[in-house]
């Protein structure tokens, strides 16, 4: 029996309905970059969950690997939207700041493994942003500036401009809300901590005993079995 898979496409300038079809296993397939989320797993989509469409990902320090993810994420954002790029840059800065602020407790959590793991690798436990996402709602795929899967549902960011959104956009946002998609409005230049996001965005390391990198796991890092499949092409 097919799993209850939610498709969230991202990095898309527009949408065509024929990009989603049913695979031989009964699960949906998507022709553009997307994540296929098993709703029943109940786990967030994190930065450590790949794969990423980075031509030659390089293993390195946590900061070197995070920088590659940040660059790839920004490359999938709207190239004409400075507010969207600004939100993503502030988000990655927020992730770094949260881990830096918790350095002492994260080192203590690693205990004797502190010599094997850099505590900064806990940054990869942060929710993974999906820019220019298309989210299913009321039978259609609706554009979102950025989407996250929190484990409990889809959360989208609506980056507000200097003027009010047009009536058509207001109707789209209402349809997202009607489909149990949480819409968080982001005024211009708002800091991440001021948006009233769920606790996951501040305490994303809770329950993560050992950090896992975003690229091909090796050694003890392979202990984590991902609950979310994705495709980045």
Which range has the top average pLDDT, 23-32, 93-102, 103-112, 161-170? 93-102
pTM score, whole prediction: 0.89
The CA distances from residue 228 to 50, 83, 88, in Å, are: 9, 29, 22
pLDDT tens for each residue of 152-177: 999 999 998 767 778 999 999 999 99
Tokens 């993974």 belong to which residue?
A: 128
Domain ranges of the chain: 5-231
User: What spatial distance separates the first Cα and last Cα of the chain, rounded to whole Å?
Assistant: 27
Q: Which residue has the higher pLDDT, 56 or 49?
A: 49
SS3 52: coil
pLDDT score of 72? 94
The alpha carbon of residue 13 and the mean position of all alpha carbons in its chain are separated, in whole angstroms, by 18
Residues in the chain, how many? Answer: 233
Nearest to 66 by CA among 76, 77, 58: 58
pLDDT tens for each residue of 180-217: 999 999 998 899 999 999 999 999 999 999 888 888 55
pLDDT score of 3? 66
Residues 6+ apart with CB under 8 A from 39: 4, 5, 6
């Amino acid at each position: 029996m097919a799993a209850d898979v939610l498709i969230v496409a991202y990095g898309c300038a527009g949408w065509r309905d024929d990009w989603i079809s049913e695979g031989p296993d009964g699960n949906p397939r998507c022709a553009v970059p997307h994540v296929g989320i098993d709703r029943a797993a109940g786990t967030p989509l994190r930065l450590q969950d790949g794969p990423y469409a980075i031509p030659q990902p390089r293993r390195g320090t946590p900061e070197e690997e995070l920088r590659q993810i940040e660059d790839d994420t920004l490359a999938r954002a709207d190239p004409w939207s400075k507010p969207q790029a600004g939100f993503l840059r502030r988000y990655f800065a927020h992730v770094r700041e949260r881990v830096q602020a918790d350095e002492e407790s994260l080192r203590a959590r690693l205990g004797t493994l502190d010599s094997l793991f850099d505590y900064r690798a806990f940054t990869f436990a942060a929710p993974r942003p999906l820019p220019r996402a298309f989210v299913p709602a009321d039978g259609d795929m609706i554009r979102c500036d950025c989407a996250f899967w929190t484990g409990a549902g889809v959360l989208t960011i609506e980056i507000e401009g200097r003027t009010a959104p047009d009536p058509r956009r207001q109707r789209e946002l209402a349809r997202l809300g009607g489909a149990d998609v949480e819409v968080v409005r982001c005024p211009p230049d708002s800091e991440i901590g001021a948006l009233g996001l769920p606790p996951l965005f501040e305490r994303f390391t809770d329950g993560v005993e050992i950090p896992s990198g975003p690229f091909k796991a090796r050694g003890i890092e392979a202990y984590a079995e991902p609950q979310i499949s994705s495709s980045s092409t």
